[in-house]
A and B are shown apart, each in its own frame.
Chain A
Amino acid sequence: MTADTADESRQTLDGDVRIGWLVRALVGSLLLAGIAGAVGYAADRVILLPAAVTFVVAAVLATGHTLARYRVWWYIVGTDSLRLSRGVVTHVQTVVPYVRVQHVDVSRGPLERALGLSSVVVYTAGSRGADVTIPGLPTDRADRLQQRLEQLAIAAEGEDAV
């Protein structure tokens, strides 16, 4: 499952992506806890209790969501198209035919860089969901995937991509 060459097989994201998602979710929970604390102070002069409860609830939900999100995420580099499946609350499966690929980016945020991960972004000319992101790939795998997708796009003769 490590190689990107195996056609029609489900590829999963790197497990470390969970750490990145979790960190982001926990920061969000902290922020929520801060707001809850402020509201609590304004209403009843208590900070700690609402903040702590909010944080725990948000963190538990976020952790559950992150784990489920990782489990749900997969993609297939098929013969004619790239297929992805993602989303916990709203489950989305996307098919991106190679002919429609305009260009492929590899992007690395600060958090991703710390984890040694990259995201591959595939752009189409579509009006909605015109870009599709595959997050959480080790950098060399992301680079390989980018090259592979570009080759496939060229091979699919994207002359009339619109």
Chain B
Amino acid sequence: MPSKLAPLSVPYRVAVSLSRFAWLLVVGTVSAGRGRLPLLAGLFGLALLATLAYQVAYVRRFEYELTDDTVDVESGVLSRRSREVPYHRIQNVDVSRNVVQRGLGIAELAIETAGGGQTEVTLRYLDADTASELRTSLSRRKRGERGADDRSEESGTAERSRESLFSITTRELLVLGVVGLDLRLLSFIAVALPVVLPSVSGATPLFDLFRVAPLLLAGLAGVALAVSMGQAVVSYYGFRLSRVSDELSYRRGLGREYSGTIPLDKVQSVVLTENVLARRLGYASVSIETAGYAPSGDAGGSQSAVPLADRENAYRLAREVESFGTPSFERPPKRARTRYAIRYGLGVLFLTGVATAVVRVADLAVPVPAATLLAALVLVPVAAHLRWKNLGYAVGDDHFVARAGFWSRRTQVVPFYRIQTLAQQATVFQRRRDLATIAADTAGGHGWTTPRAVDIDAETATTLRETLDTRLQRALRDRRGDRNGRDERDDSKAGTSRDEQATRDERAGG
């Protein structure tokens, strides 16, 4: 039997769509003058009525239903759309509620699949209880417990039991604020301020900005820190991660509350991120990439599984998702480091050249000649070494692990089974030094964060590419064998033919 949205979503939806036009109202009131106010009020009333009528119709005509194999959604006021999403294609399910929605007792539920650039199904809005019930029954059906009634307890309570993995402490929350500070921004300000300020103070000699600069910098840093901490508290307050059979389930947020599930069998890769500060303090964060598009996550397709935990804990949790053991990282050969030194050196020279030209052309009054930028050459070997030191890759039993980045070091763990394509690249400069880069593309994340073994020896690269290819094929065969075995043992569960049928439906529907 099809279900409906919560009746209380009507007023909320009306308020949301009216607030989109609020600026029109403000502009209108300001520009119209006194005499036209009644007309304006009338227009506003009309708009309110129209919106109300539309939203009532929308909510009344919106229907969803959980069938045996699919979630069906019928929606639309004038043009109707019906959509069927097979359970086994669902990547993640997210529920979120902001402060107002919590007051009204409603919640938004979003279902993500791998296809397309946006959320496949959004239910705006459901009763809060209905939403969480729906989420549980979706995960249950996804596991193949078809037709299992919400209340029936017979199908393995032990399996469904909730195992708490992680909950954030206040200390970690505050450290998250500190660590979450964008260091690059701060260092940029620190560099830019002494360069910019003199010319400004030359133009407005009201007070000596040169002397105020350190204070200003400290103030800016303080504000940035406070904002960052506030942000961390608001979005990750009460973060809890638990495991329910083969799904991770999380809950977080102070103002806007998010909760959702990440199915473990849809995980594309696990990413451990440690920036400079976090490394110093011994913390790391874990995010999980699925092929779904997750607007509630930090970025498309990536979900913060653990915002911040001490390194041990973070690795333990990451291993819970993908058991990659202790990878022994292989660094690029030393000649790669020379390459970075040359690259950075050229960068400094180029910047100095540009700065000199700008000073010459614009006739700026600078306290020191632009050529002082050449002093940065001293940092070049250090920077090259740091980049080289943080690069690495490892080939585990079931995983390819790639690591890169000094400011923010990302360690990406990709199961062989999830590799989509392999690419071996060598630019002219790389070939000069007999180096190459291997990129293992997955369906998760975004293009520029592809796990890569950067600047490794060309021969090693070829071997690595072949190894990864063989391991992928072996993993595929293993999976296939596994699945066939399972199907034979228990053919009451999702049969292959039924799966294929559902896939076809989705493609035809898409």
Contacts and interface: CB of A to CB of B under 8 A. Distances in A.
A117 B442 CA distance: 31
Contacts of B439: 128-129
B426 A91 contact: yes
Interface SS of chain B: mixed
Contacts of A89: 427-428
Nearest to A132: B421
B443 A94 contact: no
| Pairs of residues from A and B, 5 with the lowest C-beta to C-beta distance, nearest first | A126-B420, A128-B447, A126-B441, A95-B422, A125-B443
A75 B500 CA distance: 31
A92 B443 CA distance: 20
A124 B441 CA distance: 10
A127 interface: yes
Given A91-B431, A162-B114, A162-B291, A126 B424 contact: no
B354 interface: no
Interface in A142-162: 156-157, 159-160, 162
Contact of B422 (A91, A94, A127, A157): A94
Nearest to A78: B469
Contacts of B398: none
Interface stretch (B39-47, B211-219, B363-371, B472-480): B472-480
Nearest to B89: A162
B443 A93 contact: no
A122 to B, nearest CB: 9
A2 interface: no
B476 A99 contact: yes
A59 interface: no
B422 A90 contact: no
Given A93-B465, A127-B445, 11 more contacts: A87-B425, A89-B428, A91-B427, A93-B424, A95-B422, A95-B465, A97-B419, A100-B420, A100-B421, A125-B443, A126-B420
B448 interface: yes
Contact of A162 (B443, B445, B450): B443
B245 interface: no
B177 interface: no
B75 interface: no
Interface of A: 80-81, 87, 89-97, 99-100, 124-130, 132, 156-157, 159-160, 162
5 contacts: A87-B425, A95-B421, A95-B422, A126-B421, A129-B421
A162 B448 CA distance: 19
Contacts of A94: 421-424
B332 interface: no
B323 interface: no
A127 B443 contact: yes
Of the listed residues B291, B423, B448, B450, the one surrounded by the most CB atoms of chain A closer than 10 A to its CB is B423
Interface string B422-459: 11111110010000000101111111101000000000
Contact of A91 (B420, B425, B441, B450): B425
Interface residues of B, number: 37
A93 B423 contact: yes
Contacts of B356: none
Contacts of B447: 127-129
A97 B431 contact: no
Contacts of B291: 125, 162
A94 to B, nearest CB: 5
A160 B479 CA distance: 10
Given A90-B426, A90-B428, A125-B420, A95 B445 contact: no
B120 interface: no
B500 to A, nearest CB: 7
Contacts of B172: none
B496 interface: yes
Contacts of B450: 127-128
Nearest to B499: A159
Nearest to A81: B469
B503 interface: yes
B260 interface: no
A135 to B, nearest CB: 18
B415 interface: no
Interface string B459-483: 0000001000100110010011000
A15 B191 CA distance: 55
A90 B445 CA distance: 24
B301 interface: yes
Interface in B154-179: none
B423 A127 contact: no
A94 B428 CA distance: 18
Contacts of A162: 114, 266, 268, 291, 443
Nearest to B420: A126
Contact of B442 (A90, A127, A157): A127
Contacts of A125: 114, 291, 420, 443
Nearest to A85: B424
Interface string B267-305: 010000000000000000000000100000000010000
A129 B441 contact: yes
A48 B444 CA distance: 52
B421 A96 contact: yes
Contacts of B426: 90-91
Given A125-B443, A128-B448, A162-B443, A97 B503 contact: no
A56 B377 CA distance: 39
Given A91-B426, A159-B503, A124 B496 contact: no
Nearest to B113: A162
B500 A159 contact: yes
Nearest to A158: B503
Contact of A157 (B268, B423, B443, B480): B480
B495 to A, nearest CB: 12
A92 B423 CA distance: 7
Nearest to A87: B425
Contacts of B499: 159
Of the listed residues B428, B441, B448, the one surrounded by the most CB atoms of chain A closer than 10 A to its CB is B441
